[in-house]
Amino acid sequence: MKILLPPSETKRTGGAGAPLDLAALALPSLGEQREQLAAALVALSADPVEAQRVLKLSDRQAGDVEHNRMLRSAPTMPAIDRYTGVLYDALDAPNLDRSARRWLGEHVLIHSAPFGPVGALDAIPAYRFAAGTSLAGIPPLRRHWAEATSRALAEHEFLLDLRSEAYVALGPVPDSVRSAYVRVVTSTGRALNHFNKKAKGELVRALATTRPRSRTPQGLLAWAERSGIRLHRAPEAGIWELVVDD
């Protein structure tokens, strides 16, 4: 089983790891796409004014261009620690024990815009780049990433997809792979937006701390029931619903 998470626009800065090594990231077949995007981001950052315009940064955010300029030389940290925001605050990976973090490293992929899906413990630098951004010399991101990422994801037997729709478009799960796309709803059936991130973070934290042995769809649903987590199949094929209180 692999769990697909979205990234977050907000990130921790700094780090203590060696500079970015694209060849060491999960799904190494994406190396060419990663190299092209990294080069384009570094090149764009040579013109801070243009970079601010392309990345749609406010004057207050203009300093983020420096993260891209230093993409290849800046210190790194595990991806699961780099991201912040509602989902990652609920997951709270920096405060998990070693066994839970090792489970995350084995089972979680975070779908970044510049690097594609990376392993939870893969070392990445701070950066500023989102799924809807276009770069000179790079095809639209859906065309740049989708086919190659889908091929890479085909290596896995079961994928639990917690990504946002924008990132699903950058790497659709192939039909050949068993998968479930998780939709967060209230007990009255109302779909949630902002607060679905918290529920997804809590779900992944529960998985990491209990580390269920069964990794099949049926086993995962049985684990959720035993754990008091309301996760079930929706009427639509391939959709699971994670139910939270109103």
Structure token pair of residue 209: 């701390």
Pairing of strands 178-186, 77-78: unpaired
Write down the pTM of the prediction: 0.96
The string of pLDDT tens digits covering residues 53-100 is 999 999 999 999 999 999 999 999 999 999 999 999 999 999 999 999
Task: Give just the sign of the alpha carbon dihedral 223, 219, 161, 81.
Answer: positive
Residue 108's DSSP bridge partners are: 3
- Measured between alpha carbons, how far is 105 from 158 in angstroms, rounded to an integer? 16
- Work out the mean pLDDT of the chain and round it to a whole number: 95
- The count of C-alpha atoms lying within 13 angstroms of the C-alpha of 197, restricted to the half-sphere facing its C-beta, is 15
Say which DSSP state 131 is in. T
DSSP letter string over 184-212?
Answer: EEETTS-B-STTHHHHHHHHHHHHHHH--
Q: What is the pLDDT of residue 192?
A: 65
- Measured between alpha carbons, how far is 91 from 24 in angstroms, rounded to an integer? 24
- In this prediction, the residues of the chain whose per-residue pLDDT falls under 50 are none
- Measured between alpha carbons, how far is 86 from 194 in angstroms, rounded to an integer? 8
- The C-alpha torsion from 183 through 6 and 15 to 132, rounded to 10°, is -140
Q: What is the pLDDT of residue 44?
A: 97
